Structure 1
Amino acid sequence: MKILHTSDWHLGQSFLTKSRREEHQAFINWLLILIEKESINAVIVAGDIFDTGTPPSYAREMYNQFVVAISKLNCTLIVLAGNHDSVSTLNESKDILACLNTYVITTAGEDIHRQLFTLKNSQAEIGAILCAVPFIRPRDLLTSSGGETGLQKREALGEAIKAHYHALYAAAVDLRDAKGLTVPIITTGHLTALGVSQSESVRDIYIGSLDGFSADAFPPADYIALGHIHRPQKVAKSEHIRYSGSPIPLSFDELKYNKQVVIVEFISGKNISITPFDIPLFQPMAVLKGDLDAIKVQLQNVANALNDQPTWLFIEVEVQDHYSDLQQRVLAMADEYHVEVLKIKRARGKNQPVLTQQIQETLAELDPFDVFNKRLALETIEGDQAEAQLERIKNEFKEIVTEVAYQEPSE
């Protein structure tokens, strides 16, 4: 039994006004070749198939074309909703896609047995049982009650998520026993687990006590396929609990590590290998740092790479003097080369609090914490209690965002 784990595709993303359409199509083409080459039996997309709840038409078309293509490879596709996905959007084609061996799970609030799936191996026999857990919203598992503090609500949600995982796993064990099978049980999730490294493009889902869901709260599944964190990594040093990460860099800081999908192979119910496969970089991107002279040298090096596509750049400039025309200077330097400057930042000195300057940055590319941190960076807080005061301000802001997030939507 071979299963491929991927997540966080974010189809339809606009990256500093640039479309990722060609990159995503190149990734899908590469993935289909890998699925066929490795004889994959099932693919799990662990959340955030789309970047927004109202993806552009080309992103929906790309998604549907992928479903048709993978169905021709005799491979089961499991698509889980993430925090970026719209339940109603994914549900639109759910029943039709089921006819193409694709199963879409959008909410944890429905009958628990509808979140259990048997996956077939190459011999068309049951090779694994899947506990399909999408992104969990508080209203999926909890009923709002008055008088609870934000902390109490977060603690209740954490316990509810843990109980849901264990109830689903127990149902999977019962199903396995009832069928007399010795197959692995796999579970999924779209959340932040404790002890992981995030990137700038990841927006926290659970706040406060649920900044991370403890790894020991997961049931003893044979493999746990997670989404939401864009950096591929193990959780709590456990080989079988993993984030596959996003397939393309969704922010410039994600260039620090290779993108991957993970292939898990089982024989006779036992995990025999977990193999990450590096994904090619389909769009040249680079971060340049230094003073203007150093930036010029780095621009020449980037140009010498001879890429067919222009390289997208984030340039962080260290300057001693305050140039009012810094952005124009940088753009003029870059104009000589086969590059596109998407973001410019002036490195801040101790007495030089300035906001990041981004070309055509929009509010759609920022979350409340981005805006708050940018504003907080302009303040000068000094004294022995400065660090504690900053932490208190940040925690109070988290509490406000939490209260807003937990409000029941109006009918």
Structure 2
Amino acid sequence: MKILHTADWHLGKRLYKHDLADDHVRFLDWLAETIEARDIDVLLIAGDIFDTTNPNDGSMSLYYQFLTRMLPLQRQIIITGGNHDSASKLNAPRELLRHLNIHVVGCTTGDCVDEVLRLSAGSSDLLVAAVPYLRDADLRQSISGQTYEDRVEQVRMGIRNHYQRIADHCQTAYPNVPVLAMGHLYVNGATISPESEREIHAVGGQAAFSTEHFPEGFDYVALGHIHVPQQIGTSELVRYSGSPLPLSFSERDNRHQVLELTVDNGKITRVEPVPVPRFRSLRHVVGTLDFVREVLEKIEVDEDALPTLVEVLVEEESENLAIRQHFDQLQRDYAGAPFLLAKTRLMFRNKLKGLAELYVADTYLKDLSYTDVFAKRLEASGVEDGQRQILLETYRDLHRIVTENGPSPVLLHENPANSLS
């Protein structure tokens, strides 16, 4: 049996104002061809299929077009929800998809039996523990007076207990059958991308989870959530496949890949990285205005690739009107270039008071995540660190409720004074 481990597609992703739909079209074409050419039996997608909980029509079309393309190949596909996904949207067609050998687990039901699938190909059998992203609400109950550390410990133990129940069920119901576990979480020691996963360490206390917390009984753990491909700890069988495309400029030099696993005689005998072609180059250019223009003039263009996206940071010593005017002209001068300026920013060193106080002349609210904005508000209000973590966590839960289900009538009509208390 041959299995392809993928994760973190993030369909619908934009780099600043630039849509990456063309990148995803090329990736999905390549993936379909690779599955057929390498005779893959099972495709795993370990969370974050979409970039937002409300994917646009184009993203949904890409998703269903790919699944439709897989039908004649008669492969088995297992999809688990990630923290960026709406569980309800993923689960909506699950009963129909199940009859097409496409298994979707958008969220946990609390019953481990619902997350265990038995697959067969040739003479090989395999159990897949299709564990989706486990949200705080799935793992703990909030108790008045709990410290932040108590809440983190509850979540960490909740994750471990969830995997332990699955491992016990597999051992009891299907002895001597290899078990592959999926997961969408941060595991201690993982190398992260600074831009794409700014929230990783604060998501639901999962930063406290380590490889030793996975119980015995899993022959391989296929992880998603971290965009950098890597194995975790000393085991070669706990791995992040990483994102198949660069999803931020900090990922421009990542070695994007998917992972091919071979199951033979009841064992996973081989794990082989399969490099994903680079469909578009990302460039980051930093320096004086003159230096930036010099670099832009020398950018080489690959006619077969999508247009290069360039992020520009102009650094000048002192603020002056002429520099601002020349900086403003930059976008206009390169409007017809064979590359695209995705982002341009201007910084003056004499305004630099500290790393947290960069003076940037071209910063937009859209460049910040909703938690960035809320964190700044808490910082400005002088909220202490421990309380800040709890408020950030609560804010994420509220944001998820509103984006996935729409505003709750309770939230809309409750007395504001009671809400604040």
Which bin holds the TM-score, normalised by the shorter protein? 0.7 to 0.9
Q: Work out the CA distance in 1 between the residues paired with 2:161 and 2:108.
A: 12
Q: Work out the CA distance in 2 between the residues paired with 1:85 and 1:254.
A: 21
Q: Match for 2:191 among 197, 203, 215? A: 197
Q: Work out the CA distance in 1 between the residues paired with 2:365 and 2:278.
A: 24
| Alignment of 1:397 onto 2:388 | yes
Task: Name the SS for the 1:90 alignment partner.
Answer: helix
Amino acid corresponding to residue 191 of structure 1 in structure 2: L
| Alignment of 1:368 onto 2:362 | no
Partner of 1:73: 73
Task: Name the SS for the 2:100 alignment partner.
Answer: coil
Partner of 1:252: 249
Partner of 1:384: none
Q: Work out the CA distance in 1 between the residues paired with 2:51 and 2:62.
A: 13
Distance change in 2, residues 1:284/1:209 (3 Å): closer
Q: Work out the CA distance in 2 between the residues paired with 1:40 and 1:132.
A: 18
1:273-308 deviations in Å (ceiling 9; x for gaps) = 111111112223211122223222321231455566
- Aligned counterparts, 1:161-172, within 5 A: 161-172=159-170
Preserved CA contact (<8 Å) 2:200 2:207? yes
Between 29-38 and 347-356, report the one with greater CA deviation: 347-356
What is the deviation of 1:374? 11
| Alignment of 1:299 onto 2:296 | yes
Task: Name the SS for the 1:238 alignment partner.
Answer: coil
Partner of 1:96: 96
Amino acid corresponding to residue 209 of structure 2 in structure 1: F
- Aligned counterparts, 1:211-230, within 5 A: 211-220=207-216, 221-230=218-227
Partner of 1:28: 28
Q: Work out the CA distance in 2 between the residues paired with 1:348 and 1:97.
A: 55
Q: Work out the CA distance in 1 between the residues paired with 2:301 and 2:378.
A: 39
Q: Work out the CA distance in 2 between the residues paired with 1:210 and 1:19.
A: 30
Q: Match for 1:136 among 126, 134, 155? A: 134
Q: Work out the CA distance in 2 between the residues paired with 1:176 and 1:93.
A: 28
Partner of 2:18: 18
Q: Work out the CA distance in 2 between the residues paired with 1:157 and 1:261.
A: 29
1:319-342 deviations in Å (ceiling 9; x for gaps) = 123233353143245346312111
What is the deviation of 1:167? 0.9
1:232-281 deviations in Å (ceiling 9; x for gaps) = 11112421111111111111110021211111112112222111111112
Which structure 2 segments of 5+ residues have no match? 402-407, 411-421
| Alignment of 1:274 onto 2:274 | no
Task: Name the SS for the 2:261 alignment partner.
Answer: strand
Preserved CA contact (<8 Å) 1:245 1:260? yes
Q: Work out the CA distance in 2 between the residues paired with 1:22 and 1:305.
A: 16
Distance change in 2, residues 1:237/1:333 (3 Å): farther
Amino acid corresponding to residue 233 of structure 1 in structure 2: Q
Distance change in 2, residues 1:151/1:109 (3 Å): farther
Q: Work out the CA distance in 1 between the residues paired with 2:361 and 2:235.
A: 40
Partner of 2:179: 185
Aligned CA RMSD, in angstroms, stands at 2.7
Between 317-326 and 160-169, report the one with greater CA deviation: 317-326
Task: Name the SS for the 1:129 alignment partner.
Answer: strand
What is the deviation of 1:375? 10
Amino acid corresponding to residue 398 of structure 1 in structure 2: Q
Amino acid corresponding to residue 215 of structure 2 in structure 1: P
Which structure 1 segments of 5+ residues have no match? 380-389
Q: Percent identity?
A: 29
Distance change in 2, residues 1:150/1:78 (3 Å): same
1:112-158 deviations in Å (ceiling 9; x for gaps) = 1011001222x1x5521111110001222333333322221221111
Distance change in 2, residues 1:209/1:105 (3 Å): closer
Task: Name the SS for the 1:247 alignment partner.
Answer: coil
Task: Name the SS for the 2:49 alignment partner.
Answer: coil
Q: Match for 1:314 among 279, 302, 311? A: 311
TM-score (norm 2): 0.85
Partner of 1:127: 125
Preserved CA contact (<8 Å) 2:115 2:131? yes
Preserved CA contact (<8 Å) 1:194 1:212? yes
Preserved CA contact (<8 Å) 1:342 1:359? no
Q: Work out the CA distance in 2 between the residues paired with 1:93 and 1:87.
A: 11
Preserved CA contact (<8 Å) 2:351 2:358? no
Partner of 2:143: 145
- Paired residues in the alignment total 391
Amino acid corresponding to residue 260 of structure 1 in structure 2: Q
Amino acid corresponding to residue 195 of structure 1 in structure 2: G
Task: Name the SS for the 1:362 alignment partner.
Answer: helix
Q: Work out the CA distance in 1 between the residues paired with 2:397 and 2:94.
A: 27
Q: Work out the CA distance in 2 between the residues paired with 1:260 and 1:358.
A: 34
